[in-house]
Amino acid sequence: MFIDEVKVMVKAGDGGNGCMAFRREKFVAKGGPSGGDGGRGGNVYLVASQHHNTLLHLRYNPEHKAERGRHGEGSNCTGREGESIEVEVPVGTVVYDWDTAKLLHDFTEPGQKWMAAKGGRGGKGNARYAKPWHQAPTEHEQGFPGEQRLFRLELKLLADVGLVGFPNAGKSTLISRISAASPKIADYPFTTLEPNLGVVQLPNERSFVVADIPGLIEGAHEGHGLGIQFLRHIERTRLLVHLVDVSDITGRDPKRDFEIIQNELASYSEELASKPMVVVASKIDAAQDDDRVNAVEAIANEHGLPFLRISSATGAGLDELKRLVAERVLPAENN
């Protein structure tokens, strides 16, 4: 199950209470107040990990609490600090405050660590209040509570290239041909119900990551079809590959399909719609009418976008597509 949004509660440990104690023993030259301080409560940290690729493990375990500090003891003994805990999240997780929706942290690399809740300070023991004019203090502090916070965690997959297009435009077949990914492929709409990632290997140990998201339809920004809930997964990409089905099987207007997808991207985010894009006429092996292909090429030229013709079934144009994408997403020294 692919879970990309969860609500979690974190609670740092409370500080231990300060102790009130007096010491009067044989062979101890100076007695007096000897109550120790309470220990600090444990912190809660979020840590980016490559061991998880969804937020599923947090869906059924939404509360995370650190250990409280131990109370102070006599003989000026300070209480032990509470154990801190680390909560693993996938790389690409974004943390928002639940109440204000404010962006708090973005995990973009493995091993990144962020303090989500700070443990409470331990209370002072009565020994801290001893003064020359106040030699038998009975004052002592309670431990301070640790922070408790609610977050909304949102996962945005990290990929170099995002595949967009109508359902059954050939996105899943394409990613299965150019990478080792094995998404579900079938001859009906919305076969892809969750994003898929694939690593495209190139010569000289070069590679880039491609994200395939469920197909969009007109009105997706209003919740039609699968809506636009998965578009967040291509927000981080550097390049979009827009697949347009030019086969004669669907009977759809390829030019109209292109315009619809562009409008849906713009409805979600102007930044997303303005990303660099490559227009691809897919399923050319099943295209009997050249006018359909030419219409897509014309609109790509009109927008100043690169245009390619491919067939994932026969492999036509796939090497050229990989080279073109690599030129745009990989550093110049690697090309």
Strand 5-11 relative to strand 22-23, pairing:
unpaired
- Which stretch of 90-104, 144-158, 192-206, 281-295 has the lowest confidence by average pLDDT? 192-206
Mean pLDDT for the stretch of residues 95-103: 95
What average pLDDT does the chain have? 86
pLDDT per residue over 311-323, tens digit each?
Answer: 988 989 999 999 9
**Second-level CATH architecture of 161-334:** 3-Layer(aba) Sandwich (3.40)
- Per-residue pLDDT tens over the stretch 256-272: 889 888 888 888 888 88
Q: Pick the closest to residue 181 from 201, 164, 204 (CA basis).
A: 201
Parallel, antiparallel or unpaired: strands 148-155 and 5-11: antiparallel
3-state secondary structure of 10: strand
More confident of the two residues 198 and 113: 113
Rounded distance between C-alpha atoms, residue 62 and residue 9, angstroms:
6
* Percent of the chain topping pLDDT 70: 90
Spell out the domain ranges in the chain: 5-155, 161-334
* Residue 89 to residue 47: CA distance in whole angstroms: 6
Please state the rounded mean pLDDT for residues 201-217: 80
167 falls in which pLDDT band (50, 70, 90)?
Answer: confident
Handedness of CA 115, 121, 122, 127 (dihedral sign): positive
Q: Which CATH architecture has domain 5-155?
A: Distorted Sandwich (2.70)
Q: Which of 198, 214, 229 is nearest to 165 (CA)?
A: 214
